[in-house]
Amino acid sequence: MSKVIALINQKGGVSKTTSTLNIGYFLSLKSRVLLIDFDPQRDLTKSFGISEEQFSIIDLLNNKKFTPTNVKKNIDIVVGSRQLEAYKLKKNSFKDVIEPLKKEYDYILIDCQPKMIIDEVLTINEVILNGTDFILIPLVADINTVNGAFEFLNSIERIQNTSNPNLKVLGMFFNRISTTKVLYKQLYNHLTHLNEDIVFRKTIRQSESVPQAIAMQKSVGEYAPNSIGAYDYKLFTNDIIKKLKTFD
């Protein structure tokens, strides 16, 4: 059965899109992968050089029959849409339409927009999490980002207790960091002290190869396979696979 993983954080600038692309690439070396661009900014879609597409996330939500766009071997994408912000959502809008796609892929990765989940309002991110198996939270070495992630976990708990009891926190991971920086070490130690199991030990170090690959519309594994960025994302993806097996 496919694993549906949402890369999500209410803060922007934490490399959700970059991580979705690169984790997806390394998963695709041995598995079938579907990427879903659920951000109206469409950065994941643009990362593959796709400007406009006949079918998009709106068509998926409307339960129209269509084939996701193939972008690489073993990687398809449901492209984003600027119309998503105005789309009239229902609680199970995503949950109802993702089930048939689970039969076609081993992993489904969702690039979410940086928005809070609010109790009183049905947001795009809550609709996503109602139909998701796991959440993966990217972090940068910034105290506000880390605090925001723990605030976000409170919202996750509400969804687990109400609409999706099967939703699990796969973990948090640091990226774009320098392992020599004192703040990163302090934040990492703080998080592991609070919950040792929630933080991945493997981090994604700062590397010029990662943004350069994005600029060339490639994953870092394709663009610079011997770079620090490719090495880190490859090992991190392996850690994701290992941790997923612990939930089976």
CATH number at residue 132: 3.40.50.300
pLDDT surpasses 70 at 60: yes
Report strand pairing: 69-72 vs 75-78: antiparallel
Residue 174: phi and psi, rounded to 5, are -90, 140
Total structural domains within the chain: 1
Q: What percent of the chain has pLDDT over 70?
A: 98
Query: For 91-118, what is each residue's pLDDT tens digit?
Result: 999 999 999 999 999 999 999 999 888 8
| CA dist., res. 135 & res. 13, Å (int) | 17
Query: For 6-41, what is each residue's pLDDT tens digit?
Result: 999 988 889 999 999 999 999 999 999 999 999 999
In this structure, how many other beta carbons lie within 10 angstroms of the beta carbon of residue 82?
11
Predicted pLDDT at 147: 82
48-62, 93-107, 152-166 — which is least confidently predicted?
Answer: 48-62
Token pair for 149: 């992630």
155-169, 177-191, 201-215 — which is least confidently predicted?
Answer: 177-191
pTM reported for the whole predicted model: 0.95
52-61, 76-85, 204-213 — which is least confidently predicted?
Answer: 52-61
Handedness of CA 54, 59, 64, 69 (dihedral sign): positive
**Alpha-helical segments (H) within the chain:** 16-28, 43-47, 57-61, 95-102, 124-129, 143-162, 182-194, 209-215, 220-223, 228-245
Predicted pLDDT at 206: 92
Q: How confident is the model at residue 179 (pLDDT cuts 50, 70, 90)?
A: low
**Mean pLDDT computed over every residue of the chain:** 91
The residue that leads in pLDDT, 82 or 54, is 82
Counted residue by residue, the chain has a size of 248
The residue that leads in pLDDT, 115 or 225, is 225
Q: What is the mean pLDDT of residues 203-223?
A: 95
Q: What is the mean pLDDT of residues 199-218?
A: 94
pLDDT surpasses 80 at 196: no
Token pair for 130: 């109602």
pLDDT surpasses 80 at 130: yes
Most confident of 38-47, 110-119, 178-187: 38-47
| CA dist., res. 23 & res. 21, Å (int) | 6
pLDDT surpasses 80 at 180: no
Token pair for 54: 């006949």
Q: Is 246 helix (H, G, I), strand (E, B) or coil?
A: coil
Q: How confident is the model at residue 242 (pLDDT cuts 50, 70, 90)?
A: very high
Print the domain residue range for 153.
Answer: 3-245
With beta carbons less than 8 A apart as the criterion, state whether 187 and 141 touch.
yes
pLDDT surpasses 90 at 223: yes
